[in-house]
Every structure is written in structure tokens, then in C-alpha cells.
Amino acid sequence: METSTIDYLVTAATEKLKSFQDRLSYLKLVRFPTANPNKLIQLFSRISELLEKKLTTYREKFQVSRKDESKHSIVREVKLLVLLIKTLGARLRYIEGASIERTPWSMVHAVQELAQGLLNDTVLIIRPQWHYNYGGVDVIEEWRLDLNQEADIREIFDRVEWDAIHEGLARRFYILSFPGLERDNVLLHVSLGHEIGHLLLSGFLDQEESLFGKRIRTKIEQLDPEQEKKIDSKYETAADRIKRAFQIRRRALEEIAADCFAISIFGPAALLALHEFALFARSMDKVSEATDWYPPWRTRLRYALRHLDWPTWYTCFGTIASDSKWTDGRINSGITILNVLNVHISTLEQLASETDDQTEIQKDPLTEIAYDSLDESLERGKNDLDSQVDQSRKFLSTKERCVEIFALLERLHYKIPPNEVLIAKPIGSDLDLAGRTRTPATLASIFNAGWFHRVAYLPSIFSFDRSKTYFEELDILNRLVLKGIEMSDLQREYAPYSSTRN
Amino acid sequence: MSATMKEPSSKTFRYGFLTSRTARLLYEHSIGQQLDEEEQQLVARAEQFVEQILNGEEFVSGEKENIAPGSDALNVLGYGRAALKVMPEPKNGDFKHALTDIRKTLAAIRSHNKNEYPTPEQIEQAAKFFDRIADAFFDEAVASSHPISAGRT
């Protein structure tokens, strides 16, 4: 019997699905730091089972089709379905990468808990990527008709099918990626805060286009002939120009607002991580298509510094640092650490005070228009994000953070994991011998203590007799911070059990 | 630090399936045929899609003050314009007029309005419009799923 075109196509498509299912079976055997990757395996398994049924339905529809044009559409839809399977197949790398061997597993659960506390109905997975960047992707974004609407993939599955796929699972699966090269550089992973911010921003960004669309279009219409000449000739029509200005503006807003969000949750540590990333940028000032319209690093640092409000932190630290006096070592007081840190941040302020980035922005009329109303929007964006942070009630005040950070700095000075602080007032933890209570440290304070220690104790490899000593010290710091995060997370997670101890 | 990944976007799949399914429904449609509930919902979403293209057009021309979300309407506007440019025997050169005709055709089929029922040519025209756009979305999905890095592909 002759095999028809559709039979070949559906058979080949089904083979792809079977390969996808085989990979899922293998991934079930991998060990992960948390159960979240297994939940994504479950979601993908359910999707693949239903896609297999869809392929059979397409074949049946093809056989009863009356017109060649309809058959062409069915073939196109089967091919689109295969592309979708391939896309899902490529996303299996997120699960594979989330294994214990490839992640800084000590901190995965703690970051996951922090993010899931801020985001409703979300499963978070952390994995490395070989590309040197942090990133975030919503694995099932394509299934939703709109970010503001209920999860829906009507063009492929109907509501009943989708409900069956999602039963007992979270609505969103968000993958946070970190540069694989930096697996053990735990302090740089403060940048994951920026990626969490992206997840909270989508609604705000869509509103902004609506609010500022008219202003942007009017400014583009009113460009004078001299400015017209500066616009790249490929943006010929008004629609192309408006679209490009929207794109530049959206990218600037989302990156800067996400930076500010990271500052809100992680404080100075987020600024220090941002600067470490900016250090190796091709340019501090350029914004171009070649760099996907990312805002200039100088602009980002300026906004981050403004949002941090370092003078307030400095004053606050100043009231505590004088009480921190330690024996041994090159640095024996909190004041010394604070002074070194202040000099470092002053350098960043100097960097941000230069205006070369603004000159670059003004060179291109579309970029200038896109950046024109940024301040106004960012103020709204930051308020929107900060209100989400406040609502979660998971963060300490600046004063409480300062106290905690300096307590943890003392532990790091004596090479003790910075996992807990002893405080005078009981808040449900075990009483220690001196009558104070042991409280698991917050993730933000551990990161900050780690960064402060690094800035003060490890300014450069040239401050040591041998570079080997620098790297040994850095390794110790990374291990202590990772262990501190893991232990504080365990203390917090199992506190309900330990509180029942007699 | 980035929020993007190089893979076919969600919208490419969503609009690709939407336009392809709509084209198929219109090609198979017989005059006076009553649509079932699922088909009615599909046509309603196709109408929204055409509405979005119209919004983009009206915003760019200044007829409309604002659109939300703007970038999405401007993206589909590009697809709509490209599809109409290559349509066989366009009835007139007015882009907006052609889109309004397609939207009316869809609305009449969905509501089964016997008084304003479109002609077979109008239905064919609408089917071809969605067919062209579906091909463009399919091409985009294929192009964006190719590896970017060097090496054998």
C-alpha cells in the first residue's frame, strides 16, 4: 500500500515526540537540589502525551479535507507543531543543567524560596548556561494568550486539555540562568535578583507603551530634517521608527527597573555585582542594535546608585561599625571595612557622574526619544516593584540589615559561616547560653557581608605576597558564604520542628 | 543580564496556529454554513487579530492616540501589510479598507448573519490573507529555531 504524504509527516513528527519522551525518562534519574525540575518534567510529559493525540487528529483532518489549500494549512500546522516540540526539546537543557553537579546547590533552595515568596504560583529553576550572562525565561510563556489573562493555549489545546496538563502544578515555570563559568563565584549570583525583577515587570512595561505611545509618535513626526538624516535608512516608515523607539525604551526600562529591584532586595551587594559585570563591557556608554539596545552601563550604574541611596546606608553603618572590633588579621574593626567600602562606592559614583552615555544617546534621534521620558516611567516602575517587595514582608529595614550585616562580617573575619546572628529580643528561635536568640541570617545580609568582606579583605591580587594566597582566601570566602546560605536556609526551613524540642 | 533567549517567540507559535487554522476554516467554509462553538471562538480571535492590525495602522497614521500593548500591534501590522501587498487582485489600494472588509467577512460568518453574508470571493480573499500571514509566521518560526553559532547546521 502506498504511504501518503501526511502519513510520512505524522510518523516523523511522532518519532520526534518519542525522542522527547525518552529524554524526559532519562532526566527523571538525574539528582537535583530541589524537586522543582521534576515538576517541569511532569509538565512536559503531560504536554507530549497530548501532542501525540493532536498529531493523529491532524492526520484524520487531512484525510477528509476537500481542498488543497486546507491540506497545505494542515501540513503547515503539523510542521509548526514539530517546531514546538523541537523548542520544548531544546528547553530540556534547563532541566539537565539544574543538576546538583552543575549548580551551586547550597544556595539553590534559598534563592528559590526567596523568589517563590515574591511570585505567586511560580516554580523556579536555577541552571548554568555556557553563554556568559545571567538570564531568565518563562518556560510556558508561549502557552499563555496574554500575561494578564488566565493560562491558555487555545490554538493548540482547549481549556479542558490545558487544565488537565496543569492540574496540581504551578502556573508559571521560570528558569534563572547564570554563567556556567561563575558557578562557584557565589557573590556574583546576587545578579539573580535582577532576573527575578524581570518577572515582576511585564505588566508595568505593557502599561508604559500605552501611556507614552502618543508622546513618542508625536516626537518622531516632529523630527527636523537634520535629525532625519541621522536615522538609519532601514527605519524608513513611521511604523518602523515607532516600533524601534518602543523597543529601545522597553529594553532600557526593563533593565534599569530590574537593577533597581535587585537593589531593593539585596542592597549594596546588588550594586557591587552590577559593577563587576560592567567592568568588562565593550563600552560603558554605547546603546546600539549590536548590543540588543541594552542601556549603557554608565546609565545603569547611575540609576542603581540613585536607587540605593548610599549616604543613608553609610550613616546607618556608621552607627554600628564602631562597635565592631576584632582581634587578629589585617582588619580589626568595622570602621575600617566601612571606610574601604565608602571609597569603593565613591569610585562608582565618580564613574556614574560622567555623562558620556548621555552624549551617545543624543547621537541617535530614536534613542534620544526613547530615553526622553525614562525618569518619569522609572519612578512609577520602581514604586510598583517596591510595593510588591513591601507586600511580601520578607525584608528587613535598613537599620536591621546594617546590624545583621556587621554581625555576619564578624563571623567571616573569624572564618565562621555567616549563617546566623545573635540578637537580644526573642523572635521564636532557640535561646543561647547568654540569653540572646539565634536567628538565621537573611540571604540579602549574607550576600552583603560576603561582598563587604571581599571589598575590604581582597581588594586585589597585588595586595598579597602571592596571587595564590588571594585565590585561596577567595575560595574560603565563597565556601563560607555558600555554607552560610545553606545553613541559614535549613535553620529557617526546620525551625517549626526545632521549636518543639524540650 | 538579560531577559531574552534566542528561540521562536511565544507569539510566533500563537499567531502561526491562529492564522493557519483560520485560513483552513475559511477555505473549507460553505456559504451559509453554521459554525460550531469552537469554530466561532476561533473566528472571534481572528477578528481580534485583524482589529490589532487596524489599531497599529490607526496609531501610526495618527487616527488613534494610543495603543496597548504598542509593540505587539506594530508587529502584526507589518505582517498584515506584507500579506495584503501580495494578495491576488486587490480590490483597492486602501489598506485599511481591505482590512475592514476582512473583519466584516469574519464577523458575518461568525454571527451567521444572512443579510450581510459575504460572497465566496470575499471569503476566499480573507482565507488567502490569513494563509499568507500563516506562511510568514511559519517562516519566522523556522528561521528563529536555527542555531546562531557557527558550525554545522
Residue of A nearest to B147 (CA): A90
* Grid cell locating B151: 558550525
For chain A, the domains span 5-183, 192-392, 398-498
Q: What distances in angstroms separate CA A483 from CA A50, A90, A106, A403, A447, one per listed residue?
A: 43, 33, 7, 21, 12
Phi-psi region of A309 (alpha: psi -120 to 50; beta: other; left: phi over 0): left
- Using pLDDT thresholds of 50, 70 and 90, give the confidence band for residue B132: very high
Pairwise CB contact (< 8 Å): B3 & A72: no
Residue of B nearest to A142 (CA): B10
Cα distance between residue A257 and residue A136, in whole Å? 15
Does residue B24 sit within a domain? Answer: no
Chain A CB within 8 Å of residue B44 CB: no
Structural domains counted in chain B: 1
Report CA Rg, chain B.
17
Cis peptide before B69 (omega within 30 of 0): yes
Q: Which residue has the cell 537580644?
A: A424
Does residue B95 sit within a domain? Answer: yes
For residue range B54-95, what is the model confidence (pLDDT) as tens digits?
888 888 887 877 766 567 777 788 888 888 877 765 555 688
**Residues with pLDDT less than 50, chain A:** 1, 142, 145-152, 426-427
Domain span at residue B106 reads 36-126
Q: A267: helix, coil or strand?
A: coil
- Angle at Cα A98 formed by Cα A269 and Cα A443, nearest 5°? 25
Question: Is the distance from CB of B70 to CB of A210 less than 8 angstroms?
Answer: yes
Beta bridge partners of A333: A325
Beta bridge partners of A135: A177, B2
Report CA Rg, chain A.
26
Q: A20: helix, coil or strand?
A: helix
B147 has pLDDT over 50: no
What pLDDT was estimated at residue A183?
94
B150 has pLDDT over 50: no
Q: Which residue has the cell 535598613?
A: A398
Q: Which residue has the cell 544617546?
A: A361
Nearest by CB: A83 against B59, B77, B142: B142
Beta bridge partners of B2: A135
Chain A CB within 8 Å of residue B75 CB: yes
Chain A CB within 8 Å of residue B63 CB: no
**A87-121 residues labelled b (16+ CB within 10 A) or e (exposed):** bbbebbebbebbbeeebbbbbbbbbbbbbbebbee
- The CA-to-CA distance between both ends of chain A, in Å, stands at 79
User: Letter for the amino acid at B18?
Assistant: L
What pLDDT was estimated at residue A146?
35
Q: Report yes or no for ipTM above 0.90.
A: no
Chain A CB within 8 Å of residue B138 CB: yes
Beta bridge partners of A124: A174
What pLDDT was estimated at residue A152?
45
User: Which residues in B lie closer than 8 A to residue A79 (C-beta atoms)?
Assistant: 138
Does residue B28 sit within a domain? Answer: no
Cα distance between residue A391 and residue A118, in whole Å? 9
- Work out the minimum CA distance from B28 to partner chain A, whole angstroms: 7
* Grid cell locating A164: 488537565
Residue of A nearest to B53 (CA): A239
What pLDDT was estimated at residue A442?
94
Handedness of CA A256, A262, A268, A273 (dihedral sign): negative
